């Protein structure tokens, strides 16, 4: 490798919901981050509007097209994805719904064999959902305000749901209706820049209800990722490189910077120049951690192409593909409930409301959301309602047949030719369905190109349930129901492709673990829709972002990856700064460190002062934490009587403002108790609550003589007090007021995960881990061993 090859801490491939969250979190933590995005930046005012501009708004570099819309056609389905800085947020409809709690299924059987299994829960994701919602800024459509109450399509959906007894709601939208958080909403008002500044340096204005969300918001009213996470990432030093398309990935091996042997990964890319396509240039960048966030199709394609360079990838690669239950239909000549006013689908954001169909006797759950014009589905509306421009349609069919004969799965150029001016009917209301279809599709390579083997037949019960409900809504609104042209061609079209590199509990179940790290390849992560082991059900953007946020928390807690020989050397040892940039101390000088991750959850009772006096589990006051406990020198840790280590991570409590970082933390393992045969595991965590007030959590596990059956409850139950402030003596309470007291527990599932997190760094790591194990078991023996006379 040439000496000028770049090397950074992290390369992020793609800038959508997974990539942008990752770029921000890791750059904020002080890592050097490079984002490689194949598309362009799109400041407000730059999105295409004229027919000629829209005709070139597609992504197909082979045809000199470098636009936003990337439309792929496979044998049984079509998919629309995005290309541009901000990924799918540039063209999505702004809906940020959480995945329903009961749809985080475990081993749910699927037709044709296999099962759907989510190795995470809603409780795991809720604090990360909170964090993403705060960062992006979400609010429901202000339908109760005068400027917005006249949105007929919103009222029509509400009234139809009421008549049919359906669950109607105003979902959270990533749109600025007000100039600043908490201000009164208004149309076209200047939006205040956040504290991290503007990405584009262009004035943003609040939503004007123009219905242009899906073709790019020229007002900047959409809180798309370039205005939020990516702007904040750049503020913290992330290097955002557009028109950089990644072609291959692989282990770094001997490709280390400076010519030495290095661990980590190498990323080969092509840099596009739309002004002069012949000036396309190639390059390589290496990194300690590689985060794939190129979208379901892009990430799966990269991994499938890289199988030879990444031997040992799970056999589940390419499986669990689904379209998140996407169904598109139209209510033609729809009117309000009184049958007097035509529904104007172009007034308002693309989506303002949703009807939820729960899982149950009717089948797998779904959401039905009203759509709006204009949007990237205009060409479908023309086919469903207008029936004109047959010459263009005929040319399109001929082009598609020619492309299918050559297995050209990129149909962007043909779609660009198909698009026309399209006078849309003002009373045609699109309905967008999504939900829990069956994730039994397969992504694979065919003649070197990406191919999808998938049929909607196994999801027919789900599909018919959604279509029947759409017909009932149309009946209430006096409308004629029409399927999309794709349905007439027995094809499925999706804007939410998911799966291909699914998460699982082990390599036999998924490509990556519950935190997105690829099994067998430390430091390689999947942070987009490819990691979904099944349909999200709701619009998947928020769940993808929350999983990426959770991934980053674990990545930062775990420290630099420990790379096996098959991937390369220890990346941390390949750089002079080592892991110190993550906030840890200098571990040079031949010392060996040991770390593990512990999770506990339970409740603290407000007003209680002594957890031993509580009668059972206190109500309210949910409290949890996740800590990375690190002994920087194992020999010293074992030798010192108090066995001290540092604790880093976060606490999560609604009473403290949600998830809060631990600013300083201590842990003592088997410290001496008040008698020779008693031990304590002590915790002391300092943090600041959501209102800026200092807090200290003091906890201890009481390990005292008793029957061997006491080992589990004693070592997994922590008594805790929450202090109002920080004692002057960091190791004593000094009479600091107690706000709450209670009990936290290690769950069996958390213990199983904890056992997989033990890591060592430095010489003799295996021996150090063995010494630690002997010490731990020896201390338990000293406490719980049989005694004479007992």
SS3 track for 621-665: CEEEEEEEEEECCHHHHHHCCCCEEEEEEEEEEHHHCEEEECCEE
Say how far apart CA 411 and CA 395 lie, in whole Å.
Answer: 13
Averaged over 490-499, what is the pLDDT?
86
Closest CA relative to residue 164, chosen from 476, 481, 480: 476
Question: What tokens were used for 115?
Answer: 């099962």
Give φ, ψ of 240 to 5 degrees: -100, 110
Strands 33-36 and 327-332: unpaired
Q: Exposed, middle or buried, 601 (CB in 10 Å: 0-12/13-18/19+)?
A: middle
Q: Say whether pLDDT at 592 is over 60.
A: yes
Say how far apart CA 115 and CA 23 lie, in whole Å.
Answer: 33
Q: Say whether pLDDT at 780 is over 80.
A: no
Specify the range with the lowest mean pLDDT, choosing from 324-328, 371-375, 690-694.
371-375
pLDDT on residue 570: 35
Per-residue pLDDT of 610-626, as tens digits, reads 888 776 555 668 899 98
759 neighbors 596 (Cβ within 8 angstroms): yes
pLDDT on residue 383: 42
pLDDT more than 70, % of the chain = 83
Averaged over 633-656, what is the pLDDT?
89
Give φ, ψ of 505 to 5 degrees: -85, -15
Strands 694-703 and 717-724: antiparallel
DSSP 84: S
The residue written with tokens 């997994």 in the block is: 716
Averaged over 551-566, what is the pLDDT?
73
pLDDT on residue 586: 36
Residue 511's alpha-carbon distances to 241, 685, 758, in angstroms, are 28, 35, 21
Closest CA relative to residue 410, chosen from 396, 398, 400, 419: 400
154 neighbors 161 (Cβ within 8 angstroms): no
> What is the biggest distance separating any 2 CA atoms in the chain, rounded to whole angstroms?
98
What band does 590 get if pLDDT is binned at 50, 70 and 90?
A: low
Q: Say whether pLDDT at 109 is over 90.
A: no
pLDDT on residue 162: 96
Specify the range with the lowest mean pLDDT, choosing from 228-232, 269-273, 569-573.
569-573
Closest CA relative to residue 292, chosen from 37, 525, 20, 499: 525
Contact partners, residue 387, CB within 8 Å, separation at least 6: none
Return the higher-pLDDT residue of 234 and 570.
234
Say how far apart CA 515 and CA 531 lie, in whole Å.
Answer: 10
Q: Say whether pLDDT at 405 is over 60.
A: no
pLDDT on residue 486: 61
Averaged over 267-290, what is the pLDDT?
93
How far is C-alpha 610 from the chain's CA centre?
39
Contact partners, residue 33, CB within 8 Å, separation at least 6: 8, 9, 10, 11, 12, 23, 26, 27, 233, 237, 238, 239
Averaged over 49-60, what is the pLDDT?
83
Say how far apart CA 653 and CA 643 lie, in whole Å.
Answer: 28
687 neighbors 662 (Cβ within 8 angstroms): yes
DSSP 58: B
Closest CA relative to residue 238, chosen from 41, 39, 22: 22
Q: Say whether pLDDT at 381 is over 50.
A: no
Averaged over 705-727, what is the pLDDT?
86
What band does 50 get if pLDDT is binned at 50, 70 and 90?
A: confident
Per-residue pLDDT of 407-454, as tens digits, reads 445 545 544 544 443 334 556 889 999 999 999 999 999 988 999 988
**Sign, Cα dihedral of 386, 392, 398, 401:** negative
pLDDT on residue 9: 95
What band does 561 get if pLDDT is binned at 50, 70 and 90?
A: low
482 neighbors 328 (Cβ within 8 angstroms): no
Say how far apart CA 537 and CA 527 lie, in whole Å.
Answer: 18
What band does 706 get if pLDDT is binned at 50, 70 and 90?
A: confident
Averaged over 95-100, what is the pLDDT?
97
672 neighbors 641 (Cβ within 8 angstroms): yes
What band does 729 get if pLDDT is binned at 50, 70 and 90?
A: low
pLDDT more than 90, % of the chain = 51
Averaged over 536-561, what is the pLDDT?
92
Closest CA relative to residue 108, chosen from 98, 120, 123, 118: 118
Specify the range with the lowest mean pLDDT, choosing from 329-333, 389-393, 558-562.
389-393
Question: What tokens were used for 472?
Answer: 């009932």
What band does 462 get if pLDDT is binned at 50, 70 and 90?
A: very high
350 neighbors 372 (Cβ within 8 angstroms): yes
Question: What tokens were used for 3?
Answer: 């000496």
Averaged over 172-191, what is the pLDDT?
96
Our CA dihedral for 658, 289, 12, 253, rounded to 10 degrees, sits at -170
What band does 575 get if pLDDT is binned at 50, 70 and 90?
A: very low
pLDDT on residue 4: 52
pLDDT on residue 338: 74
603 neighbors 722 (Cβ within 8 angstroms): no
Per-residue pLDDT of 750-767, as tens digits, reads 777 777 788 888 788 788
What band does 351 get if pLDDT is binned at 50, 70 and 90?
A: very high
pLDDT on residue 252: 87
Averaged over 266-290, what is the pLDDT?
93
Specify the range with the lowest mean pLDDT, choosing from 9-23, 109-123, 311-325, 457-471.
109-123
Q: Which residue stretches of 137-290 are H helix?
A: 152-164, 229-235
pLDDT on residue 72: 84
Contact partners, residue 484, CB within 8 Å, separation at least 6: 328, 329, 330, 377, 380, 383, 384, 493
Q: What mean pLDDT is reported for the chain?
A: 84
Averaged over 351-363, what is the pLDDT?
86
Averaged over 321-346, what is the pLDDT?
85
As a three-state string, the secondary structure of 316-381 is: CCCCCEECCCCEEEEEECCECCCCCCECCCCCCCCCCCEEEECCECCECCEEEEECCCCCCCHHHH
680 neighbors 673 (Cβ within 8 angstroms): yes
Say how far apart CA 184 and CA 187 lie, in whole Å.
Answer: 10
The residue written with tokens 């779904």 in the block is: 366
Specify the range with the lowest mean pLDDT, choosing from 18-22, 245-249, 704-708, 738-742.
704-708
Say how far apart CA 454 and CA 466 lie, in whole Å.
Answer: 20
Q: 320 preceded by cis ω (within 30°)?
A: no
Averaged over 373-389, what is the pLDDT?
44
pLDDT on residue 577: 31
Highest mean pLDDT among 123-132, 424-433, 778-787: 123-132
Could you give the angle at the alpha carbon of 93 between the alpha carbons of 468 and 12, nearest 5°? 125
The residue written with tokens 């005709």 in the block is: 55
Say how far apart CA 115 and CA 108 lie, in whole Å.
Answer: 5
């Amino acid at each position: 490798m040439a000496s000028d090859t770049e090397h950074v801490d992290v390369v992020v491939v793609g800038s959508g919901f997974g990539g942008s969250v990752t770029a921000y979190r890791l750059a904020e933590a002080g890592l050097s981050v490079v984002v490689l995005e194949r598309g362009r930046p799109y400041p407000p005012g730059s999105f295409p509007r004229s027919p000629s501009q829209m005709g070139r708004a597609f992504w197909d570099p082979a045809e000199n097209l470098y636009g936003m819309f990337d439309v792929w056609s496979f044998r049984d389905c079509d998919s629309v994805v995005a290309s541009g800085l901000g990924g799918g947020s540039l063209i999505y409809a702004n809906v940020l719904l959480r995945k329903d709690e009961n749809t985080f299924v475990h081993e749910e059987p699927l037709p044709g064999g296999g099962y759907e299994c989510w190795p995470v829960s809603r409780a795991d994701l809720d604090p990360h959902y909170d964090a993403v919602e705060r960062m992006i800024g979400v609010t429901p459509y202000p339908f109760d305000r005068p400027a917005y109450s006249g949105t007929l399509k919103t009222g029509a959906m509400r009234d139809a749901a009421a008549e049919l007894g359906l669950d109607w709601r105003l979902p959270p939208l990533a749109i600025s209706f007000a100039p600043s958080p908490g201000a009164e909403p208004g149309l076209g008002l200047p939006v205040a820049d956040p504290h991290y500044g503007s990405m584009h340096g262009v004035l943003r204005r609040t939503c004007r209800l123009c219905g242009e969300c899906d073709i790019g918001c020229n007002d900047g009213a959409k809180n798309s990722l370039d205005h939020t996470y990516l702007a904040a990432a750049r503020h913290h030093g992330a290097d955002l490189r557009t028109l950089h398309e990644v072609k291959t990935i692989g282990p770094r091996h001997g490709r280390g910077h400076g010519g030495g042997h290095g661990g980590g990964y190498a990323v080969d890319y092509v840099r596009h120049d739309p002004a002069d396509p012949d000036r396309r240039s190639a390059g390589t960048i290496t990194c300690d951690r590689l985060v794939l966030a190129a979208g379901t199709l892009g990430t799966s394609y990269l991994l499938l192409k890289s199988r030879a360079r990444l031997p040992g990838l799970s056999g589940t690669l390419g499986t669990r593909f689904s379209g998140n239950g996407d169904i598109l239909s139209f209510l033609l000549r729809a009117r309000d409930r009184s049958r007097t006013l035509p529904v104007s689908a172009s007034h308002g954001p693309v989506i303002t409301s949703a009807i939820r169909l729960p899982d149950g006797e009717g089948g797998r759950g779904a959401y039905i959301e009203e759509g709006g014009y204009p949007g990237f589905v205009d060409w479908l509306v023309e086919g469903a309602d207008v029936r004109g421009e047959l010459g263009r349609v005929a040319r399109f069919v001929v082009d598609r047949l020619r492309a299918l004969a050559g297995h050209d799965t990129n149909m962007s150029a043909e779609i660009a030719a198909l698009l026309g001016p399209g006078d849309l009917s003002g009373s045609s209301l699109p309905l967008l369905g999504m939900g829990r279809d069956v994730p039994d599709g397969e992504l694979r390579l065919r003649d070197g190109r990406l191919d999808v083997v998938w049929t909607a037949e196994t999801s027919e019960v789900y599909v018919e349930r959604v279509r029947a409900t759409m017909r009932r809504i149309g009946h209430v609104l006096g409308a004629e129901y029409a399927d999309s042209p794709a349905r007439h061609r027995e094809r499925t079209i999706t804007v939410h492709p998911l799966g291909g590199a699914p998460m699982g509990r082990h390599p036999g179940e998924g490509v990556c673990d519950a935190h997105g790290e690829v099994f067998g390849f430390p430091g390689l992560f999947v942070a987009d829709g490819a990691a979904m082991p099944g349909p999200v059900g709701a619009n998947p953007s928020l769940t993808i972002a929350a999983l990426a946020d959770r991934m980053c928390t674990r990545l930062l807690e775990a420290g630099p990856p420990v790379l096996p020989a098959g991937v390369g050397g220890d990346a941390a040892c390949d750089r002079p700064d080592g892991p110190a940039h993550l906030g840890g101390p200098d571990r040079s000088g031949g010392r060996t460190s040991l770390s593990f991750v512990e999770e506990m959850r339970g409740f603290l009772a407000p007003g209680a002062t002594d957890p031993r006096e509580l009668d059972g589990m206190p109500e309210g006051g949910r409290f949890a934490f996740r800590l990375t406990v690190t002994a920087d020198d194992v020999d010293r840790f074992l030798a010192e009587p108090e066995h001290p280590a540092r604790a880093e991570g976060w606490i999560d409590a609604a009473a403290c403002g949600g998830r809060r970082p631990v600013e300083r933390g201590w842990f003592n393992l088997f410290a001496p108790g008040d008698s020779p045969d008693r031990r304590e595991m002590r915790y002391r965590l300092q943090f600041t609550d959501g209102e800026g007030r200092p807090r200290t959590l003091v906890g201890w596990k009481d390990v005292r003589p008793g029957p061997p059956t006491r080992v589990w409850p004693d070592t997994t139950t922590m008594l805790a007090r929450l202090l109002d402030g920080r004692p002057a003596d960091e190791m004593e309470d000094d009479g600091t007021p107690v706000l709450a007291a209670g009990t936290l527990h290690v769950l069996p599932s958390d213990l199983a995960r904890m056992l997989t997190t033990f890591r060592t760094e430095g010489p003799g790591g295996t021996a150090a881990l063995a010494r630690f194990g002997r010490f731990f078991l020896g201390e338990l023996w000293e406490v719980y061993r049989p005694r004479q006379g007992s």
